[in-house]
Amino acid sequence: MNLEGRKIIVNKSSSELAGMLKNPEDYKDLMPEGLQSFEAREDGFKFGLKGMPEIALKIDNVSDKEVVLRSASSSLDFALTGSMNPLNEKQTEVQLLFEGKFNPFIKMMVEKPLQNFINSLTDKIEQL
């Protein structure tokens, strides 16, 4: 299952964004409304949103071109990638891409909430 967020322009350089996204604690500011729990860990973070189970993410890779977050759970196989394209010294085009391997039943249950989550993250990133 593949989902895409809309492309946005962030008024930060890609290196500024990458520096921020290396720090698990900084992801708390990007979480959507309805955040019920957030726990930063050494290599990632765990969060809970109203009406959804807790999700643990591991910060897998951070560069000036992309940020890759992977599921920290062995039972769920997915990655959330933030693609970063520097436009100039102060602006970066960002797009969130979700790729997950789910059975058809799970896909049907999670597709809409995940798209809403990606849209909400995109809105928060755009405000940086």
- For the chain, give every domain's residue range: 2-127
Q: Which residue has the tokens 């860990």?
A: 41
**What pLDDT does 21 receive?**
94
SS3 string, 52-106, reads CCCEEEEEEEECCCEEEEEECCCCCEEEEEEEEEECCCCCEEEEEEEEEECCHHH
**What pLDDT does 73 receive?**
86
Q: Collapse the DSSP code of 9 into the 3-class scheme (helix H, G, I; strand E, B; otherwise coil) and give the result.
A: strand
Question: Taking residues 26-48, what's their average pLDDT?
Answer: 94
Question: Taking residues 112-128, what's their average pLDDT?
Answer: 94
**What pLDDT does 15 receive?**
95
Q: What is the chain's mean pLDDT, rounded?
A: 94
What is the rounded CA–CA span in Å between residue 39 and residue 18? 20
Would you say residue 74 has pLDDT above 90? no
Would you say residue 38 has pLDDT above 90? yes
Residue 117 near residue 49 (C-beta atoms within 8 A): yes
Residues paired with 57 in a beta bridge: 45, 71
Q: Which CATH architecture has domain 2-127?
A: 2-Layer Sandwich (3.30)
